């Protein structure tokens, strides 16, 4: 199975099944693969996500732990999912501990743009605005907001703009470019 086949299967399970049937399907797919085999950690992460949506937070936490132990690649790092669970539980100590672990992963290049977006949004929703600002800003730092508008990650740009407004910070070059980033992204979407 390659990434495209995995994505098709995940989407099919997500949209064709509901409730316990969907949870059972993600579990069955994960259990059919050997630990470390491509796809297993992703099935476990999806299982965790839908367990969280079903308010089964302890089960979701266990599934994220299993995905972490597996060590396989995932679109969203399992620690990012665990951070969302800690924030939902209003466990500030766990949020701080997980954020520290995630920064270590970010520095080593293990986290992608989607992780930064998810972590930033989680921290923003939990009221940790300064920390959210850091997570939204990192993926933008390699781009010139005046010259690289088409390459700036839209969701992180939007999140950074929102958080800076909530903090009452003055406009900067990235804030000034945020509307243009959105406009260019919408235009690319219309043309695709």
pLDDT tens digit string along 91-125? Answer: 999 999 999 999 999 999 999 999 999 999 999 99
Q: DSSP secondary structure string, the chain? A: --HHHHHHHHHHHHHH--HHHHHHHHHHHHHTS-TT-TTHHHHHHHHHHHHHHTT-HHHHHHHHHHHHHH----SS-HHHHHHHHHHHTT-HHHHHHHHHHHHHHHHTT---HHHHHHHHHHHHHTT-HHHHHHHHHGGGTTS-TTT-TTTS-HHHHHHHHHHHHHHTPPP-HHHHHHHHHHHHHHHHHHH-
191 pLDDT more than 90: no
pLDDT tens digit string along 119-178? Answer: 999 999 999 999 999 999 999 988 998 899 889 999 999 999 999 999 999 999 999 888
């Amino acid at each position: 199975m390659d990434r495209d086949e995995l994505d098709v299967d995940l989407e099919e399970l997500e949209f064709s099944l509901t409730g316990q049937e969907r949870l059972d399907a993600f579990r069955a797919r994960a259990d059919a693969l050997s630990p470390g085999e491509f796809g297993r950690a992703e099935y476990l992460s999806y299982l965790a996500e839908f367990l969280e949506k079903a308010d089964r937070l302890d089960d979701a936490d266990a599934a994220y732990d299993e995905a972490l132990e597996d060590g396989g690649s995932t679109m969203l790092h399992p620690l990012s999912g665990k951070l969302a669970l800690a924030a939902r539980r209003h466990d500030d100590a766990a949020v701080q501990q997980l954020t520290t672990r995630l920064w270590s992963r970010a520095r080593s290049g293990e986290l992608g743009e989607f992780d930064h977006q998810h972590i930033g949004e989680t921290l923003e929703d939990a009221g940790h605005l300064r920390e959210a600002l850091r997570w939204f800003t990192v993926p933008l730092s390699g781009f010139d907001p005046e010259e690289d508008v088409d390459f700036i990650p839209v969701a992180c740009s939007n999140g950074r703009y929102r958080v800076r407004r909530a903090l009452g910070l003055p406009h900067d070059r990235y804030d000034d470019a945020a509307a243009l980033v959105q406009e260019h992204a919408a235009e690319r979407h219309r043309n695709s």
